[in-house]
Structures are given as C-alpha cells and as structure tokens.
Amino acid sequence: MKEHSSATVLERPAIPQKMSVGVWWGLLGVAAFSFTVPFTRVAVAGIPPLFIGSGRAVVAAVLAAAALALTRQRLPRRGTWLRLALVAGGVVAGFPLLTSYALTAVPAGHGAVVIALLPAATATVAVLRTGERPATAFWLVMALGSLAAIAFAFLQSGGVGHLQWADLLLLGAVACAAVGYAEGGLLARELGSWQTIAWALVLAAPAMLVLAVVSVLSQPPSATPVQWAAFGYLAVVSMFLGFFAWYRGLAIGPMAQVSQIQLLQPVLSIGWAALLLREALTWTTVLGALAVILCAAAAVRVRLNRPAR
C-alpha cells in the first residue's frame, strides 16, 4: 500500500470559496437595500416622490464627489462614460423615481415582493452581457421564484385584470435596476465597486439637481423628523454605501448567481414593514416570501457551466 493511499478526498463544497466571497458581499448589500422600500413608504407620506427620487441622488452625488476627490481617482476612459450612463439611468434615476411614485399607492410589503422579480431580470441581463451559462436547474429555480412574485402581485391586486398602475411602475423599476446592476457589476471589475456608483452619481447629478429644484418649487416638502431621517437613509445608504458591497459581490460573481441573493430582499423588507410600519402579514405574503427565499438558496447552490467565449 502506497503512502497516503488510504487518505480520503474531501468533498468539494457546494459553493466554491471564491463564489462564497461574492455571496457574502451580496448579502451585505441586500441587507442595506432591504430598508429601501419601507423607508420610501415612510418618506412619501411627507415628501413628494419626485423630490425623494431626485433629492436622494443629489445628496449621494455630493458624498460621491467628495470621496472621488479625497482619494484622487482618475477620470474613467472616454468609452466608459456611456456604460456609466446606463448605470446612472438604471439605479440612480429610473429605480428611485419609479418606486417612489409606486409606493404612494401600494403598501411596502406589496412593493417588496413585486421587486422580487429583480434577481431574475438581473440574471438575464448578466447572461446576455457576460456570456455566463447557468445550468438548466438555475433557470428553473429562478423561474419558480419569479412566478411566486408575479402571483403575489396578481392576488394582492384582485386578479390578472386588476393589476394596478403602481405595479407597472414597479415592473419598470425592475427593468431599470436590472440593467444598472448588471452593467455596474461589470464596471466594478474595471473601476472598483464604490468608484462605479460614485462616477454614476456624479454623471447623473446635473439632471437630478434640476428635478429636485423643480419639485421644491412646485411642491415644497413638509416632512416630520422621522420622514427626513428615512430620506437620509435612502440618500446615504440605499443610494451610495449599499452599492459598495453589492457591486463588489457582483464583480466577484458569478454575476447570475450572486444576483439571486436579492431574492432575500423582499423577505427582509416585509419583515421591516411589519415591524416599523405595522403592516399586516397575510398568508399570501408569507407564502410568497417563503417561496422566493427557498428559490434564492437553490439558485446560489447551482453551479455555472464554463462561460461561452
């Protein structure tokens, strides 16, 4: 018998070490984002949705410009600005504005589960952009999670024929964020995670400032300290700091699988809405949350095939 011939070979982990790092960064980002929907619901009670969507971007842009200046970051290359514009249009302008208007009409729990479609949309855009080739099982569990979110939206709205206009805004927000997340994840591999969202914020700042001024002139905010505190969280964490971890997780990847971590976000958001806003937890909400969390866990464990060249 040769030396070490009796040694046992350890079974390979379900989540490779490198992927697990991306998953943990993704979880940190999702934890930060999970307060976005409940706090937006709090803020819109006293602050116009146009100001919430644009004003939070302006505040975050000031922080981003300061961080870029203090660390003496070089300007991105000329060809990178168009890609940064996609990120800015998706996560700096599109998602915040559309969700702010939608949450004036629907509860935070409802909005959170409809937004659970975002991981599926992000994975689809990521596959188109990166050439990643998820296994068939990945698409199956992702589809199950998406169907659970769609069924929830229909049930809460009274049926397929009674889908609310707010749901259409939420679906538009999902499409915007999917493009911004996927492109931002790719840029994070070149520019860095926080640098990507910082440059996107700076690029969008002039347009967001104009919208914020228009909002103040047409309807000045009259909010309570609690509502301003919620706005502050949206500006500092949801619009800036949360992306540090989220884009880092997507950059480490695989992007299609790390994006599925965000299926946990509606579960956390629903919990915060029940705890902070006293929103009732219905059986449909609980079942929908359980379905997406199980699908998120299954999607992360599915391994990727080799990316197409």
Sequential pLDDT tens for the chain (309 residues): 444 444 444 444 433 444 577 788 888 888 898 898 889 888 988 899 899 989 999 999 999 999 999 999 988 888 899 999 999 999 999 998 998 888 888 777 677 767 777 877 887 887 777 776 767 777 777 777 677 666 665 665 555 455 577 878 888 998 999 999 889 888 988 888 889 999 999 999 999 999 999 999 988 888 899 999 999 999 999 999 988 888 888 888 777 677 777 777 777 877 787 787 776 667 766 776 677 667 666 665 664 444 444
**Model pTM above 0.85:** no
| Angle of CA points 302, 250, 80, to nearest 5° | 140
Strands (E), the chain: 133-134, 304-305
CB 231 within 8 A of CB 7: no
d(CA 152, CA 101): 20
Q: Which of 180, 208, 175, 173 is nearest to 87 (CA)?
A: 180
**CA-CA-CA-CA torsion sign (96, 100, 101, 102):** positive
Q: How many residues does the chain have?
A: 309
d(CA 253, CA 262): 13
